[in-house]
Amino acid sequence: MEDPWGTALALFQVWISILLCLVMLPAMFGLSLGVTGVYIQILVQILEWATLRIQRGRKEKPSVPIPLPNGIIHRDGGSMAQEMLEVRGSRPGGDFTLGDVFYFYKEGMESLVDDQVTQCFSSEELASWNLLTRTNQNFRYISLRLTVIWGVGVFVRYCVLFPLRITLATISVTWLVISTTLVGFLPETSAKHWLSEVAHLMFYRICARGLSATIRYHNKENRPKKGGICVANHTTPIDIIILANDRCYAMVGQVHGGLMGVIQRSMVRSCPHVWFERTELKDRNTVTNRLREHVACEDKLPILIFPEGTCINNTSVMMFKKGSFEIGGTIYPVAIKYDPRFGDAFWNSAKYNMVSYLLRTMTSWAIVVNVWYLPPMTRLDQEDASQFAQRVKSAIALKGGLIDMAWDGGLKRARVKDSLKEEQQKMYSSMIVGPDGPSDLAATPPLLDLQD
Amino acid sequence: MGALNSLPDEPQYVGLAEKTGFSFEQIGILHKRFKQLSNNGETLRREDFNTIPDLLCNPIRSEIIEAFFDRRNFRQTDAVGTVHEIGFGEFLLVMSHFRPPSIRLDDEQKEVIRMEKLRFLFNMHDTDNDGTITLEEYRHVVEELLSRSGALGKETAKGIADAAMLEVASISMGHMEPDEFYEGITFEHFNKLLKEFEVESRMNIRFMNMDTTTLCK
């Protein structure tokens, strides 16, 4: 009778050694065996076939609703003055007519049906189904072949890819903790810096392989240099892995407990990162000063900051908080754009916690992402921190093909400030009163006389 | 299992489509929006509308939000009063007042739709349901649109409201005797005031149509 434990152990050893050879060794040297590339190509073929099949199915059954990724309604997009002009037929000014209210009715109803901000905090809607159950919002049964392929996909993702990815994740975290602790024992020499970089890079590379990530870096000549600050748009915690695959950064963040805490403490042993206690974060000056100290030191790694403050769904860029831009130094903007066909990278922290988010990501097809390095920017004399932040944000939005939005990412959790509510009222009243002042007011007797 | 699901509540959609005039596609879209606003719940409350920043900036947001909870807009004859929460059916009924018009309508049908939309707007301002928009209610609208602080002083805003009301009175009643009392704008007056106004074309939400040929890139 065979010994079941013996065979299980042997299989496990074979599995681990295959992984070591095929994944870890290439990761050490930054090479790739090309397996992920082939996988992505096959996936693209399958998804294109699926799209055509769904289209054909739609033509046969026209009652199937079509998803609209660009917004639901047609908006005029004119300014308040233009619309009032249309409504009145003449330039508004001097008095109030009932028709003026129509502009506000229409705007109100339109924002009820479709508004920009709420859309930013829900996952991007795909134009065609990518064979994942979770993105199946409007797609219904079309054909047997499609369903079979979807079923095979489920099996591959959950029974083949998922265990592989979990193993890789465990290996990478173990590697990181061990290697950085060992490097931390060395004295401060350039050899230590180099070893620490290798250790970190290996960790991130194994993680990236663990997610089947294909990352394309553009304009590598603009890569962030030491003593600078790297800012990027934020979609998911995986952004860090994506960026750190290319060079090492000094991370900025809050001290956590548990597994994250272990990782943080071991990382900081080999090279300086900036971790804040929760109480320190409340005081803006402490934060700015510490970051300034770090940036002032020329041979420290560049800091990585996400000025939006929260995760956005990768269709637009929301307001950049000006705190990061007050530190000084050179800013290296980076634009990150995920390809939504292979998996939804957006972390909707209101809907999913970290663990379920990681599970979802590890059972998606892959992560395909484009990273653009933009030329460095510094603050000009005549602009203040918020204008500079706006300038950087527009550059990132332009390069990444994202929409540049003026809204604050904090609206995910907080309400609109009262001052914004008054803006529309002020605009309208200045139109009514006009540059000539209110007309005919002195001539009319108070209405109360009529009611006596 | 995703691929094998049919559209949820399809028989309910048929009923709603008949009552409101929206197409299945539009109902599906609005249902998704309803779920987004209500956090996947079955009913919407007034607070749920506060999650839309664009709406919060609108000066007459409270009237617009109230219109959704006003039973007069639920197309039930003689229903009055307000409710605390609405389901998807009521949401759709109120939205249908802003439905894009079908092209193939004769004049009589257009008139009916126009009356419906005007009635909806009238109800929005006639908050006590006495059939007239009184001076107070009208002044309330004007003051909401104008700024209460900053650019316009309180007296100026009041003056503009009074002037507007006077104009309305003169249009509706013609010349008034010194002892005549102007009660307020009735629905007929309201109609007369907005006679030249293209309510049918201005009060519409136009849904976008997705062309299937752009899907495959």
Question: B19-59, pLDDT tens digit by residue?
Answer: 777 777 778 778 888 888 887 788 888 888 877 877 777 77
A97 chain-B contacts, CB cut-off 8 A: 164
> For residue A447, what pLDDT is reported?
38
Cα A69 from Cα B156, distance rounded (Å) = 46
Cα B23 from Cα B1, distance rounded (Å) = 26
Which H or E run contains A276?
strand A274-276
Q: Does A422 touch chain B (CB under 8 A)?
A: yes
Q: Does B118 touch chain A (CB under 8 A)?
A: no
Q: Does B195 touch chain A (CB under 8 A)?
A: no
Nearest CA in chain B to A133: B2
B182 contacts A150? CB cut-off 8 A: no
Of A320, A186, A75, which is closest to residue B204 (Cα–Cα)?
A75
Q: Does B187 touch chain A (CB under 8 A)?
A: no
Where do runs of H (alpha helix) occur along B46-106? 53-56, 61-68, 88-95
pLDDT-based confidence at A139, cuts 50/70/90?
Answer: low
Partner residue opposite B54 with nearest CB, options A111, A142, A415: A111
A14 or B172, greater pLDDT: A14
Of A223, A401, A419, A386, which is closest to residue A319 (Cα–Cα)?
A386
Partner residue opposite A416 with nearest CB, options B56, B150, B217: B56
A438 contacts B145? CB cut-off 8 A: no
Q: Which of B57-71, B132-146, B172-186 has the lowest mean pLDDT?
A: B172-186
Q: Is the pLDDT of residue A386 over 50?
A: yes
Cα A324 from Cα A103, distance rounded (Å) = 39
Partner residue opposite A99 with nearest CB, options B2, B95, B197: B197
Cα A335 from Cα A396, distance rounded (Å) = 5
Nearest-Cα distance to chain A for B138, in Å, is 9
Q: Which of A33-37, A85-89, B80-84, B123-127 has the lowest mean pLDDT?
A: A85-89
> For residue A376, what pLDDT is reported?
92
Q: Does B82 touch chain A (CB under 8 A)?
A: no
Q: Does B145 touch chain A (CB under 8 A)?
A: yes
Q: Is the pLDDT of residue B182 over 60?
A: yes
Mean per-residue pLDDT, A314-327:
85
Six token digits for residue B70? 């006003």
Q: Is the pLDDT of residue A372 over 90?
A: yes
B164 contacts A95? CB cut-off 8 A: yes
Phi and psi, residue A291, nearest 5°: -65, -40
Q: Which of A59-63, A150-154, A308-312, B11-15 has the lowest mean pLDDT?
A: A59-63
Cα B167 from Cα B159, distance rounded (Å) = 12
> For residue A448, what pLDDT is reported?
37
Q: Is the pLDDT of residue A265 over 60?
A: yes
Of A360, A400, A425, A309, which is closest to residue B142 (Cα–Cα)?
A425
Partner residue opposite B216 with nearest CB, options A55, A74, A433: A55
Cα B80 from Cα B48, distance rounded (Å) = 23
B43 or A64, greater pLDDT: B43
Q: Is the pLDDT of residue A133 over 70?
A: no
> For residue B20, what pLDDT is reported?
78
Q: Does B62 touch chain A (CB under 8 A)?
A: no
Nearest-Cα distance to chain B for A73, in Å, is 4
Burial environment of residue A100 by CB neighbours within 10 A (0 to 12, 13 to 18, 19 or more): buried
**Under 8 Å CB-to-CB from B64, ≥6 apart: which residues?**
A105, A108, A109, A112, B55, B58, B124
- To probe the interface with B, which of A45, A105, A444 has the most B CB atoms within 10 Å? A105
> For residue A34, what pLDDT is reported?
73
A141 chain-B contacts, CB cut-off 8 A: 3-6
B156 chain-A contacts, CB cut-off 8 A: 433, 438, 441
B53 or A125, greater pLDDT: B53
A415 contacts B151? CB cut-off 8 A: no
Q: Does A144 touch chain B (CB under 8 A)?
A: no
> For residue B86, what pLDDT is reported?
85
